[in-house]
Structure 1
Amino acid sequence: MTSLSHRDAAEALALQALSFLAREPERIARFLANAGIGPEQLRQAAGEPGFLGAVLDHLMSDEPLLLMFSEDAGLNPTAVAAARRVLMDDAEG
């Protein structure tokens, strides 16, 4: 089990990543297509366990996108992988 502060930080990073995707219609459309949801389902899906981890999975599956996000957020790309691990560990219980 991870500490609450690590989980909070991981969730914040994932929400920042989702915001990054949402700023460009093509980026968010690709994520939604990969997730199998429509824009109208995004808010509901965001509350589902594993959703924020899926956002980070999406970034990690596309290295140029991961690097763009990392630069935009001023983060090392390894921070995305670390946040994903925290979220997935929590989701697995």
Structure 2
Amino acid sequence: MTISRDHAETIGLQAIAWLAADEELLPVFMGSTGADEATMREGIGDPAFQAAVLDFLLMDDAWLTRFCDETGIDYAAPMQARAILPGGDLPEWT
């Protein structure tokens, strides 16, 4: 199933909100990316920032599973959203 760009951005927004509410994981994200509170606020509507948050969550199956379980999102949806958001297209090797 292919999702729309709007749906991908909605998942990106959900990922940002979920991450911002996670007191243990948020500092890990901020420390690894250099993002601060202002960057988080400014990035909410930016599909590229949404993609960066999804990239971060996709690095660890436990994070991704928690995100999906707690938000009711299908496990495949974050990867599908990431593929649609900026920088998510797969390279053409042929």
**Residues in 2 aligned to 1:48 and 1:12: alpha-carbon distance in whole angstroms:** 11
**Residues in 1 aligned to 2:88 and 2:24: alpha-carbon distance in whole angstroms:** 30
CA-CA distance at 1:47 after TM superposition: 4.6
- Aligned-residue identity in percent: 33
**Residues in 1 aligned to 2:14 and 2:49: alpha-carbon distance in whole angstroms:** 13
TM-score of the superposed pair, with normalisation by structure 1? 0.79
Over aligned residues, Cα RMSD in angstroms?
Answer: 2.2
Q: Which moved more, 1:68-77 or 1:33-42?
A: 33-42
The question of 1:58 aligning with 2:24 is answered: no
Number of aligned pairs?
87
Deviating runs (4+, > 6 A) in structure 1? none
Mind listing any 5+ residue stretches in structure 2 that lack a counterpart? 90-94
Higher percent of residues as helix = 1
Mind listing any 5+ residue stretches in structure 1 that lack a counterpart? none
**Residues in 2 aligned to 1:16 and 1:49: alpha-carbon distance in whole angstroms:** 12
**Residues in 1 aligned to 2:48 and 2:69: alpha-carbon distance in whole angstroms:** 25
TM-score of the superposed pair, with normalisation by structure 2? 0.78
